[in-house]
Structure 1
Amino acid sequence: MKFSTAIAISCQIRRPFLSRIRQESPATLKYIFSSCVTGATGYIGGDVLFALTQTFRNSNISALVRSESRASQLTNKFPSVTPVIGDLDSTAKITSEASEADVVLRKTLSLFVVVVGTLTKEKDLASSNHLASATAIAQGLTESKREKPVWIQISGASLLSGPDITANTYGEPRSQEFNDLQGISEIRSIITSSPKRAVDNLLLKLSATNPHVRTAIIYGPLIYGRGRGPVNQRSIQLPDLAKSTIQHGHGLQVGRGLSCWSNIHVSDIAQLVVKLTQEASSNSQNPSIWNENGIYFAENGKMPFGEISQRVASFAAEQSFIKDPTVKSIDADAADKLTAHGAVLWGTNAQYTAARARKLLGWEPQGPSLEEEIPRAVKEEASQSNSKL
């Protein structure tokens, strides 16, 4: 089997990382994963890196990280990684890595991983630094000598929360549920009509001007579970809700608590990246998988935030972390004071069905459910805050 693909993977998360991975197969076929990764020490990026290194075990990685301390943490977790100190502003280097890695060996699979932005408000997803690095990756893939380079981006489901933010209806329900297979045109329209989604729009437009490039975007919902990366193994929405509950001594919900996001375990997001990477390595050109149709959701069900809050408070009370299992309502401003963009993260709607990955890639979530995760998350936050009474 021959591999001649360049792949770029980006995630909406913090902290940059640039890596090159070489792998020898038993048949002496050489794979090269030249990766522009920002987030190898972050929550999602770290878990994706773990999944990739588990799938492609005989790899040697050089990684761009911001500091010597981060470099040490990275190599302690992944001994094969050789760290290089740098950041996302090194756009010339990113472009060079994205273009040069494709011609290192005749038979290669080249993987570019760039994690940009944060899983918070949309304004954070389109900062000039993030867009600049994404543009550098796009330029590198455009200049690539490989026949069919691929860029996989991980973005955030707050894409679907716009109506709640505009109407200021935090904590209220919205019945609309999106389907990434049957409703792809509607989702694409939401992306293209949002100038704040600059990086996502860059990917959607890339194949129009560069037909040899294949792209895919994964929109992650409420992501939970302990990450398997080297540094940040903690998510945001559930842990911060548990932390605030313990600190205040009772449950908290935004408004009536009727808003709802779909949810997924972090390992299942990482596995979807692996599935797409494997699909890319087969040189698939299925138009249903890539480019304007390469928009993927990932979910393992949904749960209203009010129910999440009640489950958190009830378990915390059972464990004597708090005395009162009552859930009290707070407004959007109060939520934002408890955690960055709390009104959006706990009070908006982002409900969807992940049909595309299930049907086209054979992906199925295998991680624990959100219901199963809540006790672990509450115990961890109680331990961190030393708040057990």
Structure 2
Amino acid sequence: MAATGYIGGTVLDTLVKQHPEYSITVLLRSVPDGFSERYPNVNIVHGTFDDTQLIANTAAEHDIVIHGGKPKHIPSLEAQITGLLRRRGARPGPGFLIRLAGTGIIADWQSDTYYGKLNPKIWSDVADIDEITSLPDSHLHRPADKIVQAAAVSHDEDLKTAIICPPGIYGPGRGLGNKRSLLVPEMCENMLELGHGFYAGPGANRRSWVHVDDLAKVYLRLVEAAVEGGGKAVWGKEGYYFASSQEVSQFDLAKEASRILHSHGLIPTAEPKSLSIETVREMRGGSSWEPMGVYTWACNTRTRSDRAREVLGYVPDAPSLAETLEKDLLDAVEHVKLNGPTYCPNLRL
């Protein structure tokens, strides 16, 4: 597993604390200061996602592989599958692959029907699994998901797979690398640059969210099941796990974020403003992907974590987005002061 990213670092920390008896190997491009002191029993392999032969060889030596970063990086994903299949005969039982994807797969960004408006569709990873696993390749994450699911079908006895599909993630990471989420810091920088909070159109579009600690619980439960040979978890085509714990409208999020930033004297008004779809389309946060602005600020990504709750006993209990929003926003402000802006290059504090 990669273990210095926002998700990977939190998952590693969770596994080490909950199961110090596990033998864990991580892929690191560079070793953060204090890593070996904090995780003395974790094995380190030096490399990147592009070192596919290294990844395949390492996967072949392990029973469980966590694909915890760069969810659209297909060569590394294929290398993990190749390595896990190569272990056949060396050790009893199947190999397990747990892949990180995202709710971008069901986001309604491809049509302007619901830009800034409420889409009534809430996707279930149980009731809608057939539709989710037959979406066209134009949906985010679908090409990589297809590779995982095809491998699971073709090698059912030797390879068990699961796909974790988180929504927007918030809260501080617990690893030694990146501790920052994406959406809240990006929203913060845009609000600071604009001088006010914002939402697209009427702002009724809604996004599901999960605290990074709750997301790590889904990984933990799946790893524990894999250690048991599969346990009660569902694997293969239906081994698809949304991780959402709540949902919030863009208007409500903008209103609360505006109140917080204004209360700290960071923006001149506590009232958010409606922006046109054309304006938010250009707010890409440095991404070259043209739809990024409407995907981030104008579309709906509404999901229910039915499978994780029903099969894994997933009970999210971390603080809500509303409870952590002030700290997350102020941490984002401090990051800009210390390191400069990440998403809005013209921002000055």
TM-score (norm 2): 0.86
Note the 1:210-221 alignment, pairs <5 A. 210-212=155-157, 213-221=159-167
Q: Deviations over 1:351-384 (max 9, x none)?
A: 0111111111111101110111111112222333
- Residue 296 of structure 2 corresponds to residue 345 of structure 1: yes
Alignment of 1:235-384 (within 5 A): 235-284=181-230, 289-332=234-277, 334-335=279-280, 336-337=282-283, 339=285, 340=287, 341-384=292-335
CA offsets 1:318-337 (integer angstroms, 9 cap, x no match): 22222201212234554343
Percent identity of paired positions between Structure 1 and Structure 2: 27
Alpha-carbon separation, structure 2, partners of 1:342 and 1:97: 38
**For residue 117 of structure 1, what is the aligned residue in structure 2?**
70
Deviates more, 1:301-310 or 1:206-215: 206-215
Per-residue Cα deviation, 1:259-312 (whole angstroms, up to 9, x for no partner): 1111110111111010011112222365x7111111111111110111101100
1:201 to 124, 146, 164: 146
CA distance in 1, matches of 2:144, 2:38: 30
- Tell me the residue number matched to 1:104: none
Equivalent pair of 1:254/1:329 in contact (CA under 8 Å): yes
Separation (CA, whole Å) in 1 of partners of 2:23 and 2:125: 35
The alpha-carbon distance between structure 1 residues 205 and 285, as it changes in their structure 2 partners (threshold 3 A), is farther
Q: For 1:72 and 1:334, locate their aligned partners in 2 and report how far apart those are by CA, in whole Å.
A: 41
Q: Following the alignment from structure 1 to structure 2, what is the Cα–Cα distance between the partners of residues 378 and 195?
A: 27
Q: What is the CA distance between 1:135 and its match in structure 2?
A: 0.9
Q: Does 1:98 align with 2:59?
A: yes
Give the residue type in structure 1 aligned to 2:68.
Answer: V
Do structure 1's residue 89 and structure 2's residue 50 form an aligned pair? Answer: yes
Q: Please, which of 108, 133, 136 is the counterpart of residue 76 of structure 2?
A: 133
Equivalent residues of 2:9, 2:174 under 8 A apart: yes
Give the TM-score normalised by structure 1: 0.78
Supply the distance in 1 between the matched residues of 2:244 and 2:169 (Cα, whole angstroms). Answer: 9
User: Does structure 2 conserve the Cα–Cα contact (< 8 Å) formed by 1:73 and 1:231?
Assistant: no
Alignment correspondent of 2:344? none
Q: How far is the alpha carbon of 1:97 from its aligned partner?
A: 1.6
SS of the residue corresponding to residue 61 of structure 2 reads: helix
Whether contact under 8 Å (1:62, 1:82) holds in the other structure is: yes
Deviations 1:190-218 (A, max 9, x none): 26785962221111111221012111111
If each structure's strand is expressed as a fraction of its own residues, which one has the higher value? 1
Task: Tell me the CA shift for residue 60 of structure 1.
Answer: 5.9
Say if 1:160 and 1:330 are closer, same or farther in 2 by CA, change over 3 A.
Answer: same
Deviation, 1:172, is 2.2
Task: Say which SS state the counterpart of residue 207 (structure 1) adopts.
Answer: helix
Q: Secondary structure at the match of 2:109?
A: helix
Give the match's secondary structure for 1:202.
helix
d(CA) in 2 for partners of 1:73 and 1:346?
Answer: 37
Say if 1:46 and 1:229, in contact at 8 Å, map to a contact too.
yes
Runs of 4+ in 1 over 4 A off after TM superposition: 58-62, 191-196, 386-389
Q: Write the letter of the residue equivalent to 2:201.
A: G
The 3 A distance-change label for structure 1 pair 338 and 184 is closer
Of 181, 196, 207 in structure 1, the residue corresponding to residue 126 of structure 2 is: 181
Correspondence 1:157-172 to 2 at 5 A? 157-161=103-107, 163-167=108-112, 169-172=114-117
Partner letter of residue 136 of structure 1? A
Q: Which residue of structure 2 lines up, in the alignment, with residue 154 of structure 1? A: 100
Name the counterpart of 2:11: 48
- What SS does structure 2 have at the residue aligned with 1:189? coil
Q: What is the Cα deviation at residue 74 of structure 1?
A: 3.6
Q: How large is the RMSD of aligned CA atoms in angstroms? A: 2.5
Q: Secondary structure at the match of 2:210?
A: strand
State which drifts further: 309-318 or 78-87. 78-87
